Amino acid sequence: MPEREGNLEALGSLIQGFGVLADPMNIAYMFIGITLGVLIGVLPGLGGANGVAILLPLTFSMSPTSAIIMLSCIYWGALFGGAITSVLFNIPGEPWSVATTFDGHPMAQKGHAGEALTAAFTSSFFGAFVAVLLITFLAPVIAGFALRFGPAEFFAVQLLTFCSFVGMGSESPFKVLCAMMLGFALAAVGLDSVTGELRMTFGSVELLRGFDFLIAVIGLFGIGEILLTMEEGLAFKGKSAKINAKVVWETWKSLPRYWMTAIRGSIVGCWMGITPGGATPASFMSYGLAKRFSKNRQNFGNGEMEGVVAPETAAHAAGTSALLPMLTLGIPGSPTAAVLLGGLLIWGLQPGPLLFVEQKEFVWGLIASMYLGNIAGLIVVLTTVPVFASILRIPFSIIAPVIVVICAVGAYTVHNAFLDIVMMLVFGVVGYVFKKLSYPLAPLVLALVLGDMAESSFRQAMLVSQGDLAIFWSNPLVGSIVTLALVMLFWPVFSALLRKRQSRQDGGTQVIPVK
Amino acid sequence: MKDVQRPRCARKTPFDSFAFKKPYGRSLASGTALAGALGLLLIPNAAQAAWEPTKSVEFVVPAGTGGGADQMARMIQGIIQKNNLMGQPIVVINKSGGAGAEGFLDVKSSNRNPHKIIITLSNLFTTPLATGVPFSWKDMTPVAMLALDNFVLWVNSEAPQKSPKEFVEAAKEGGANRFKMGGTGSKQEDQIITAAIEQSAGVTFTYVPYKGGGDVAAQLVGNHINASVNNPIEAVSQWRAGALRPLCVFDKERIPLKEPVADGKSWNSIPTCKESGLDVEYTMLRGIFMGPGVTPDQVAYYVDLFKKVRETEEWKDFMAKGAFNVSFKTGDDFKTWLTAAETQHKTLMDKAGFTKQ
C-alpha cells in the first residue's frame, strides 16, 4: 500500500514538474540545449563534461531549474550525437559510442548509414525512457541500492564488464590478450591513485597526464580509418546510401525484433548508471552480452543492427540514470554528472537525500524535462538523419582533411595540450597497423577505459580486506556478480564441454549448426 | 559570453579619463598639444596603477572537473561575468595531470604572463613532496588567499562514537589497521590529516583512497569505511539527512556559523578537535597565484578583482553553504602564511613517510 501511495505522489509531482516546463523560456532552453549537445556530441574530444563545464558559468544568472534543464539537455544531446560520427566515419564522438562503431560503421559501409543512425537514435531514446521511468517511480529505493557498493562490488562489476566482452571474438585469443595488455600498460601511465606516486612517466612532463582514453580512441578509430580508406582508393564505401525520410520508417518497422536486446541493454545501462559504473562500460557490457546471446552472433562486427541497438540503449540508459545517485547521494555517476553536481552547488542547491523533499520544483522540473528533452532530442536527431547520411556523398578528398582537422581539434580540447595531437597521430598509425595485422582494437580500448578504474577498485578492496581475496565472496551481492563474471569468462569452455557431452550421448557425429 | 564584450565598466581611473580625451587632443591645434604632452608624462604612473588584462585570462585549475577547486573556479568565473568585474573574458582550464603537477608546472613556466592565474588546493604543497616533481609556491607569484577549506571528522550516525575521544578509543580497541579511513586521493590532504591523527593519538588506520569527496561520503553512509575527514560541503547533506555525524572540526577555532543546519545543531556547535583532546589542526588553502616575473601592478589588479568577488552576495552565500574559513590574505601576510604551511606539510609528510626520497 505505501508503495502505491508513493507512486501516486510521484505522478502528482511529475505533473507539477510538467507545469514548470510550460514556461516558454524553459522550452526554448531545452531546444537550445539539445542542439548544442548534438553538436558537442558530434565533435570528438569535446565531450559532454567539457561542454557543460564551459557553459556552466553562463547559467549563473538563470533560475536553477532553467539552468539544469538547459545543461541536462546538452547532456542528452551529447548522448544522442555521439553516435553520428561513430556510424559515419568510425570516429566515436563520445567514449560511450565506441561500441557503436563496431557494427554501426560496417552498416554505413554497406550503404545502410540511415538505418544505422535511426536504430542508434531510437534505441538511445528507448534506453533513456526506461531510465527516466525508473527515476520517476523508484528513486528512493534505487538510491539505497547504490550505497551497498563498496570497492569490492565496484571491482566485481568491472570484472563482469571485462568478462562479458572478452573471449568471444573471432580473433586469436593471443592477439586479444596482446591488445588488452597494451591497453592496461597505457592505462597505468601517470599518477598511481593508490600510492600517490608517478608511474612510467620517465620524468616527462607531458606523460604526467597519462594516456587519455579519448585521444587514443580518436587516433585508433578516426585516423586509423582514414589511413585505411586512403590505401583502399580514396573513397568512402557506402556512397550509395539511401537517403530519404522513408528509411526512418522502414527501420522502425524492423526494430521491434530486437526487443530482448533493447530491454537487456536498458537493464544493464540503468544498473551501471546507478551503481555508478558509467555509460562507457555499460555500452561495452551490453554489446558483449548481445553478441553472446544473439542468434546472429556470427554477423556481429559486420554490420548487424542488433550490435547498434545494444550499446546505444545501455549508454543512454546509463547516462540518464547516472543523474540519480548524483541527485540523491551527491555521487556523480559520470564525468558530466560530476560537472552538473558542481553546478548544483553553485546554484545554491545541496544534492543529497533531502533534495527530493526540499527542492520539489527543481527535482520534478528536471525529471519532467528528461521526458520532454529526450522526445525533443529524438525529433531533432531523426529529422537530421538524411542530412548526416548525405555527408557520406561528399568526395573523400574534401571530407577527409576536414575529419583530420576535427579530430586534431578534438584531441587538443581534451587537455588543451599540443602533444595530444601528436599522440593522436601515433595512435592513428597504431590503429592502422592493428587492422592490417588483424589485431582487435576493442580490447585495447576497453582496457584503457576500464583499466584505471578496475585497478583502483581492486586495490581499494585489498586495502579494506588487508589482502584477503575472500572479500569478493564476502556477501551475496558481490559474490554473485563475481561468480557470474567467471561463468561469463569461461562460458565458451563450458558450452564446448556441454556440446561434446551431448554429441557423445547422441552417439555421434551430428554437427550442431551454429545459426 | 554576451556580456564580456561590453566596454569596460565605469570605474574611474586617471588613465581611463585621459584615454577618453585622447582623440580630442590629437585633433586639436598645437596649443593643446602641450597639455597632451604633459599628460603623456603622467601616463607611466597612471598606467601602472591601472593595469588591466588586454586579452582573455586563463584560469588554471590543477584538478579535474567537478571537484572542489573546479567548483570554486567556475563560481568565480560566473561571478565575474555576471557582475561584469573584468573587461576581458576569463576561461577555466583544467590541468589535473600528475596530481596537479601539470597545472603548476604550466604556471611556473609562464614567466611574465599576466593573463594566467591558478587556483590552489593542498596539492601545491603535497604534490612536489609526494611525487618529486620540482615546483613550489616560491616559483610563482602569490596573489591572494581567498578562503580556507575546513575539514571535519565524520562517522556514520549508526556508529556508537559521539566524540573524537570515543572514536580514538574505539580505534585503539579495534586493533591496528582495523578502522578504515576513507579520503580523496593519496598522500594529499585527507591522508595527511589521517596520518596526523595517527601520530597524535597513537592509533593506526587503514587509509583507503577514493576519487572524490562525494564518493567518500557515500562510502561512509554505506558503512564501507569507518570514518572520513570530508569537507563540510561534501557531507552536509548526509548530515542533514541523519546519515552522518560530525565529531570535530580541524580548524584552530570553531566555525562561526550559528544558524541551525541539522537536528538543531549548527556548524558552530561542532567542537574543534583540539578542544576535544585530539591535537590536530589543518585547513586547506584556496588561494590564487600567478606566474613568476609579473609586475606589482598586475598583481594589484587581481587582488582588487578578488576583493570585489568576495564582496558579492553569491560569494558570501557560497562561503556560508560550504562552511569555509573566510580569511583573506595578500602580500607579505600571505607569504608568511605560505611559509608556515609549507613547513607544516613537510613535517607531517616526513613523519608519515610520504615524502619521495
Q: How many domains would you assign to chain A? A: 1
Does B316 have pLDDT greater than 50? Answer: yes
CA distance B136 to B104: 8
Domain membership flag for residue B28? no
Contact A352 B240 (CB under 8 A): yes
Residues in chain B with CB shorter than 8 Å from the CB of A346 are: 71, 74-75, 78, 318
Contact B221 A146 (CB under 8 A): no
Domain membership flag for residue A482? yes
Q: Which of A151, A210, A466 sits opposite B97 (nearest CB)?
A: A210
Which of B269, B298, B329 is at the close of a domain? B269
User: pLDDT tens-digit profile of B323-356?
Assistant: 999 999 999 999 999 999 999 999 999 999 999 8
Retrieve residue A115's grid coordinates. 538505418
What average pLDDT does the segment A231-243 reach? 65
> In 3D, which of A310, A342, A307, A324 has the Cα closest to residue A273?
A324
Statement to judge: residues B86 and B101 lie in one domain? yes
Contact A60 B82 (CB under 8 A): yes
Residue A393 gets which letter from DSSP?
G
Domain membership flag for residue B95? yes
Domain membership flag for residue A233? yes
**CB pairs under 8 A, 24+ apart, for A23-30?**
A23/A66, A25/A66, A26/A65, A26/A66, A26/A69, A26/A365, A26/A369, A27/A372, A29/A62, A29/A66, A29/A69, A29/A70, A29/A73, A30/A69, A30/A70, A30/A73, A30/A369, A30/A372, A30/A373, A30/A376
Q: Among A176-180, A228-232, B43-47, B314-318, which is the least confidently predicted range?
A: B43-47
Domain membership flag for residue A129? yes
Contact B208 A205 (CB under 8 A): no
CA distance A329 to B21: 58
Q: How far apart are the first and last CA of chain A?
A: 48
CA distance A343 to A322: 15
Domain membership flag for residue A513? no
Q: How many residues does chain B have?
A: 357
User: pLDDT tens-digit profile of A393-415?
Assistant: 888 888 888 889 988 988 888 88
Rounded CA Rg of chain B: 24
Residue A384: pLDDT band (50, 70, 90) is confident
Rounded CA Rg of chain A: 23
Retrieve residue A482's grid coordinates. 563475481
Q: Which of B67, B211, B241 sits opposite A354 (nearest CB)?
A: B241
Contact A190 B98 (CB under 8 A): yes
Q: How many domains would you assign to chain B? A: 2
The answer to whether residues B141 and B127 touch, using CB atoms and an 8 Å cutoff, is no
Give yes or no for a cis peptide into B53 (omega within 30° of 0). no
> What element of type H or E holds A198?
strand A198-199
Domain membership flag for residue B13? no
Cβ neighbors of A454 (< 8 A, separation 6 or more) are: A155, A158, A159, A162
CA distance B72 to B256: 21
CA distance B274 to B268: 15
* Percentage above 90 pLDDT, chain B: 72
> In 3D, which of A116, A392, A91 has the Cα closest to residue A226?
A91
Partner A contacted by B176 (CB < 8 A): no
Residues in chain A with CB shorter than 8 Å from the CB of B352 are: none
Burial-class residue A272 by CB neighbours within 10 Å (0-12, 13-18, 19+): buried
- Left, alpha or beta for B287 (phi > 0: left; psi -120 to 50: alpha)? beta
Residue A511 gets which letter from DSSP?
P
CA distance B243 to A354: 11
Statement to judge: residues B90 and B156 lie in one domain? no
Domain membership flag for residue A127? yes
Statement to judge: residues B79 and B145 lie in one domain? yes
pLDDT of residue B18: 40
Q: Which of B66, B67, B209 sits opposite A194 (nearest CB)?
A: B209
Partner A contacted by B128 (CB < 8 A): no
Residues in chain B with CB shorter than 8 Å from the CB of A58 are: 1, 78, 81
Statement to judge: residues B157 and B193 lie in one domain? yes
Task: Give the distance from residue B227's alpha carbon to the nearest chain A alpha carbon, in angstroms.
Answer: 13
Contact A350 B356 (CB under 8 A): no
Domain membership flag for residue B85? yes
Residue A241: pLDDT band (50, 70, 90) is low
Mutate to test the interface with B, among A195, A329, A349, A458 (most CBs of B within 10 A): A329
Amino acid letter for position A373: G
Could you tell me if the ipTM is greater than 0.90?
Answer: no
pLDDT of residue A291: 87
CA distance B60 to B118: 5
Q: Give me the domain span that covers residue B230.
A: 152-269
Q: What is the mean pLDDT of chain B?
A: 86
Domain membership flag for residue A515? no
Q: Give me the domain span that covers residue A296.
A: 2-505
Residues in chain A with CB shorter than 8 Å from the CB of B98 are: 190-191, 198, 201, 208-209
| Three-class DSSP labels, A212-226 | CHHHHHHHHHHHHHH
Residues in chain B with CB shorter than 8 Å from the CB of A198 are: 98, 131-133
Retrieve residue B46's grid coordinates. 597612471
Residues in chain B with CB shorter than 8 Å from the CB of A197 are: 130-131, 187, 356
Does B30 have pLDDT greater than 60? Answer: no
Domain membership flag for residue B44? no
| Three-class DSSP labels, chain B | CHHHHCCCCCCCCHHHHHHHHHHHHHHCCHHHHHHHHHHHHHHHHHHHHCCCCCCCEEEEECCCCCCHHHHHHHHHHHHHHHCCCCCCCEEEEECCCCCCHHHHHHHHCCCCCCCEEEECCCHHHHHHHHHCCCCCHHHCEEEEEEEEECCEEEEECCCCCCCHHHHHHHHHHHCCCCCEEEEECCCCHHHHHHHHHHHHHCCCCEEEEECCHHHHHHHHHCCCCCEECCCHHHHHHHHHCCCEEEEEECCCCCCCCCCEEECCEEHHHCCECCCCCCCCCCCEEEEEEECCCCCHHHHHHHHHHHHHHHHCHHHHHHHHHCCCECCCEEHHHHHHHHHHHHHHHHHHHHHHCCCCC
Does B29 have pLDDT greater than 60? Answer: no
Domain membership flag for residue B316? yes
Task: Give the distance from residue A407's alpha carbon to the nearest chain B alpha carbon, in angstroms.
Answer: 20
What average pLDDT does the segment A366-383 reach? 90
pLDDT of residue A240: 54
Which of B211, B241, B269 is at the close of a domain? B269
Q: Among A22-36, A123-137, A187-201, A325-339, which is the least confidently predicted range?
A: A325-339
- Which one has a higher pLDDT value, B128 or A274? B128
pLDDT of residue A147: 87
Retrieve residue A186's grid coordinates. 597505457
CA distance B93 to A451: 26
Residue A239: pLDDT band (50, 70, 90) is low
- Which one has a higher pLDDT value, A342 or B251? B251
User: pLDDT tens-digit profile of B82-103?
Assistant: 899 999 999 999 898 889 999 9
Mutate to test the interface with A, among B122, B208, B267, B321 (most CBs of A within 10 A): B208
Residue A5: pLDDT band (50, 70, 90) is low
| Residue B111 belongs to domain with CATH number | 3.40.190.150
The answer to whether residues A107 and A296 touch, using CB atoms and an 8 Å cutoff, is no
Contact B66 A332 (CB under 8 A): yes
CA distance A236 to A239: 6
User: pLDDT tens-digit profile of B166-224?
Assistant: 999 999 998 888 899 999 999 999 999 999 999 999 999 999 999 888 889 999 999 99
Partner A contacted by B321 (CB < 8 A): yes
CA distance A324 to A319: 10
Statement to judge: residues B262 and B314 lie in one domain? no
Q: Among A4-13, A42-51, A484-493, B31-40, which is the least confidently predicted range?
A: B31-40
Does A515 have pLDDT greater than 80? Answer: no
Q: Which of B67, B78, B97 sits opposite A346 (nearest CB)?
A: B78
Domain membership flag for residue B51? no
Q: What is the mean pLDDT of chain A?
A: 85
Q: Which of B65, B207, B211 sits opposite A339 (nearest CB)?
A: B65
Does A242 have pLDDT greater than 70? Answer: no
Residue A100: pLDDT band (50, 70, 90) is very high
The answer to whether residues A87 and A303 touch, using CB atoms and an 8 Å cutoff, is no
CA distance B92 to B70: 8
Q: Which of A53, A61, A150 sits opposite B65 (nearest CB)?
A: A53
Q: Count of A–B CB contacts within 8 Å?
A: 172
pLDDT of residue B44: 45
Mutate to test the interface with B, among A46, A189, A205, A414 (most CBs of B within 10 A): A205
Task: Give the distance from residue B31's alpha carbon to the nearest chain A alpha carbon, in angstroms.
Answer: 50
Amino acid letter for position B321: K
Statement to judge: residues B158 and B250 lie in one domain? yes
Most confident range, picked from A19-33, A195-209, A307-321, A446-460: A307-321
**Alpha helix positions (H), A149-300:** 151-165, 173-188, 213-217, 224-231, 246-254, 259-274, 279-293
Domain membership flag for residue B159? yes
Partner A contacted by B78 (CB < 8 A): yes
Nearest chain A residue to B234, by CA = A330
Contact B105 A330 (CB under 8 A): no
Statement to judge: residues B265 and B232 lie in one domain? yes
Statement to judge: residues B324 and B336 lie in one domain? yes
Partner A contacted by B131 (CB < 8 A): yes
Contact B102 A208 (CB under 8 A): yes
Retrieve residue B332's grid coordinates. 607579505
Contact B222 A58 (CB under 8 A): no
